[in-house]
Structure 1
Amino acid sequence: MKKRKRLQCKDRNLGTFLLSLPTLIWYLIFCYLPMFGIVIAFKRYKPLPGKGFISSLLERSPWVGFDNFRYLFINPQMFFTVRNTIAYNLAFLFVDTVLPVTLAIMLSYVYSKKLSMAVQTAAMLPHFLSWVVVSYFLYAFLSTDRGLFNNFLINIGSDPVRWYQNPSVWPAILIITHTWKAYGYALVMYMAYITAIDQELYDSAIVDGAGVLQMIRYITLPMLRPIILVLLILNLGNILNTDFGLFYQATRNSGSILSSTQTIDVYTYKALMENANYGYSAAASLIQNTVGCFMIIIANYVAKKINPAEGII
């Protein structure tokens, strides 16, 4: 009997392993093997004609130590670049949490399931659009001569606004654009969690005389708190990373608004294109991911201290 159980367990484990094998191979090839490229951050990489990546990296690229990191820290543009990156990510963290949760709770009280599904579908559609397409949509609204907003201003007797030369308006534009494109995914996720909440909890609350706001406060939000916390912790890992398409494509790489739109990813990309130094980008990426890793560990540790049952692991 024990031998039969061992064989059944072995077969089950083998099936699970074979099922997960493609994913393991994918992560090995695309996530772990490229980590070897971290050494570029400590070298001045020079791709040579007729030489492969490994040969160019190991044989002809001199070690420069921490020079690539030093360049990032002493550059005068890094102050507002890091400031923009952190400020935008904090704003995204707040908006990406509050708005989807609020809309998900509101939709959960919509009696028409067709209407609820239609709203969720409409919210998800922007998520599948590329930033190139979104940038053209944005340009159709903000173009100086043919943009929808400027045409409206002209029709009411106001002067047109040069949106792509006015850095003060872009923080709001970028936050709204990001929210429009990203909130649908989180909305559907929160709706799934709300749907999974035991209906008997709400029925008991109604019997006890609880109102809608009380049920949201004492039932819905506490049940959503674990997934909200997990998403917040994971998003903190990207505190120094930004969506390159949003800050480069949507802004049409306008040099007049760099003080409000330049982030670390955009800055390192421009440094790579202008100086052809791959070490700058590799050094910036190493810093971003290292800080993100520590942010996740610290945030998860704090969450576990507050409530051992919550957090990632």
Structure 2
Amino acid sequence: MGFIRELYKHRFIYSLAIPGLLILGIFSYLPLAGHLLAFKKFELAEGIWGSPWAGFENFRFFFGNPDWMQITWNTVYLNSLFLIAEIGIATVLALFLNEVRHAIFKRLLQSFVFLPYFISWLVVSLMIFGMLSNTDGIVNHMLARFGMQEVDWYQTPWVWPIILTFVRAWKNAGYLSIILLAAITGISGEYYESAKIDGATRLQQITKITLPLLRPTIIVLTLLGIGRIFYGDFGMIYAIIQDNGVLLSATDVIDTYSYRALRQLGDFSMSSAIILYQSLMGLVTILVFNTIVRKIDKDSRLF
């Protein structure tokens, strides 16, 4: 009853949340019914409800294929590299931007580091091809000029986790640095004034004040990233790697694998089973890490 009274008392304030809740329900929760396909043998003519039940047959087929371990490892491994690189570089960028005192120069730098975030992955893929192409690539031209052996980048799988990590950090670290910079500007200046009186250097102020007070924001961003650790960046990987079979051993993730299963086999049920497995693993991961954070620092947990 207390909840009902609270809801009625502040009904006009809570009503402001109705559009957002409707969008969340329509685009986030209503589509969950589509996971039903994972347990059916989908036939287009019969529709979702008319298609016969398959039980766990789609999952048995997927887990019976040894590829599932490779794509799961690739997804977690690549996303772990992306998360560490993005947050690490974003933190350094935010600290450097905070040290810039000239207002106009600071705004220019913020715009400069934020700009890559708005470049589409298709454009980025063309940029990378222009740099790493075997024939006219800038990198191979530079290697040849210095007397070094040229590298066939698109036939060398082991280098691509490094390349993709660098590209992902270049594109997204600027966006995250703006979030961290906003958190830094929210720190009270009294802390720094007290530290100056005690004779603390600027580096000591960063390590003893800024970074500790920035920790909750970093933890939240990390948890949000961990929540999507089983979701490969399909737009990035497919735009850059496409269907290069040589590189699949190092770059094929759950999203690209399920897309190929749908495109090549036309099996909606199999793709749905893969995506449901992906969603459940992501849910388990965020619950586990949120529990760990709750035991370490309750104020930094998501829920």
Same fold (TM over 0.5): yes
Q: 2:84 matched to which residue of 1?
A: 94
Question: What aligned pairs does 1:180-259 form with structure 2 within 5 A after superposition?
Answer: 180-259=170-249
Tell me the alpha carbon deviations over residues 123-182 of structure 1, each in whole angstroms, 9 at most, x when there is no partner.
111111211111111111111111111222233344432211111211111111111111
Partners of 1:26 and 1:308 lie apart in 2 by: 30
Q: What is the aligned partner in structure 2 of residue 265 from structure 1?
A: 255
Identity percentage of aligned residues: 37
Show the counterpart of 1:3.
none
TM-score of the pair, normalised by structure 2: 0.93
Corresponding letter in the other structure for 2:48: L
Structure 1 unaligned segments of length 5 or more: list them.
1-8, 49-54
Show structure 1 runs of 4+ deviating over 4 A: 9-12
AA in 2 matched with 1:39: L
- Are 1:56 and 2:53 matched, yes or no? no
Aligned length: 298
RMSD: 1.8
Aligned mates of 2:297, 2:169 — CA distance in 1? 30
1:149 corresponds to: 139
Counterpart of 2:264 in structure 1 is: 274
Cα shift readout 1:97-120 (whole Å, capped 9, x = no counterpart): 211111211221122222222122
Q: Which residue is 1:19 aligned to?
A: 16
For 1:285, give the aligned amino acid.
I
SS at match of 1:145: coil
C-alpha deviation, 1:10, in angstroms: 8.2
Quick check: 2:7–2:14 contact (8 Å CA) kept in 1? no
**Alignment partner, residue 55 of structure 2:** 65
Matched, 1:125 2:115: yes
Q: CA deviation at 1:200?
A: 1.0
Deviation, 1:217, is 1.9
The alignment partner of 2:241 has SS state of coil
Aligned mate of 2:168, from 133, 153, 178? 178
Aligned residue type for 2:41: R
How far apart are the structure 2 equivalents of 1:165 and 1:127?
28
Distance, in Å, in 2 between the alignment partners of 1:289 and 1:32 is 13
Which residue matches 1:28? 25
TM-score (norm 1): 0.90
> CA–CA distance in 1 between the matches of 2:8 and 2:105?
46
Q: Tell me, which stretches of 5 or more residues in structure 2 are unaligned?
A: 1-5
Aligned counterparts of 1:191 and 1:271: Cα–Cα separation in 2? 42
**Aligned counterparts of 1:26 and 1:126: Cα–Cα separation in 2:** 28
Q: Report which stretch shifted further, 133-142 or 247-256.
A: 247-256
- The one-letter amino acid of 2:96's match is M
Determine the C-alpha separation between the residues in 1 that align with 2:201 and 2:149: 50
Distance in 2, matches of 1:113 and 1:303, equals 37
- Find the aligned partners of 2:30 and 2:7 in 1 and give their Cα distance: 30
Higher mean C-alpha deviation, range 151-160 or range 199-208: 151-160
Q: Distance in 2 between matches of 1:301 and 1:257?
A: 36
